[in-house]
A = this chain, B = another copy of it.
């Protein structure tokens, strides 16, 4: 089979975004520079989500900000460091190549109004609202646990852009189905599930929690079974576009997310262990799998487990 047909098998449309393949760079990974976005795209990603951008620049936490665990998982508390929406819109102003989704973080609707207006005109294909960063107060989960706040943030964002808006949810102290319901009612085009889960690593030699923020977010293979469950429940209940996220390390994981109900999926932690070539190896794995199963389009995978 020639390369072109192969790659056509992976084309799909998600909430109005046309992607050459369903493999998306997750927010927070390498995501602050246009040059890196272009490199990630050249390495085979279908789309890229930026680091979460806030209204003003944020320095984030002191190091250590990332702890590597035994089982190819991380705990991070980077603290949402980002250049702020002003500098970031400058950064991406020349973008005409990369299907870029901008992740936004803020503490009230006015933040989102300003940021959406600032960035809407750039060469981007959509927004992702990060309601679920588990380790920064007054941003992320604390906002995302309040359905009323979620509703007004999503409404504000939607009313300032015509581009698709995804809402990223996490496993915290509220039910993801309730928060997703609030977001979808307010007009969100899809859900990204899941963010990292609050976790900690303590040094038994030094006695300190290692991260400077003590608590961080767990990512990687450890959270995959939880993320799969969330995607399955979301698809079962809402049948809306879903970006699956959490522990995708190889094509098998990717396929599992799609048959659970993900329209596309995001890859983060795996880059730390497999490098940027992980995008291409996942594509190749999916194509070979589809050939074995006799599928024409990757869309045939979406939600397939729900027939059983």
Contacts and interface: CB of A to CB of B under 8 A. Distances in A.
B222 A225 contact: yes
A260 interface: yes
A232 B200 contact: yes
A204 B252 contact: yes
A25 to B, nearest CB: 23
Contacts of A71: 71-72, 221-222
Chain A interface, >50% SS class: mixed
A122 to B, nearest CB: 37
A154 to B, nearest CB: 20
A207 B259 contact: yes
A225 B305 contact: no
Contact of A215 (B175, B209, B221, B229): B229
Contacts of A197: 171, 226
Interface string A147-158: 000000000000
A36 interface: no
B70 A221 contact: yes
A39 to B, nearest CB: 30
A302 to B, nearest CB: 12
A44 to B, nearest CB: 21
A225 B207 contact: no
Contact of A171 (B72, B73, B171, B221): B171
Interface residues of A, number: 44
A237 to B, nearest CB: 13
Contacts of A232: 200, 202, 209, 214-215
A228 interface: yes
A200 B225 CA distance: 5
A15 interface: no
A199 B218 contact: no
Contact of A204 (B178, B199, B255): B255
Contacts of A307: 207
B201 A225 contact: yes
Given A73-B225, A202-B305, 17 more contacts: A70-B221, A171-B171, A173-B174, A173-B178, A174-B174, A197-B226, A198-B229, A199-B228, A199-B229, A202-B259, A204-B289, A207-B308, A209-B305, A209-B308, A214-B232, A215-B232, A222-B223
Interface of A: 69-73, 75, 171, 173-176, 178, 197-202, 204, 206-209, 214-215, 218, 221-223, 225-226, 228-229, 232, 252, 255-256, 259-260, 289, 304-305, 307-308
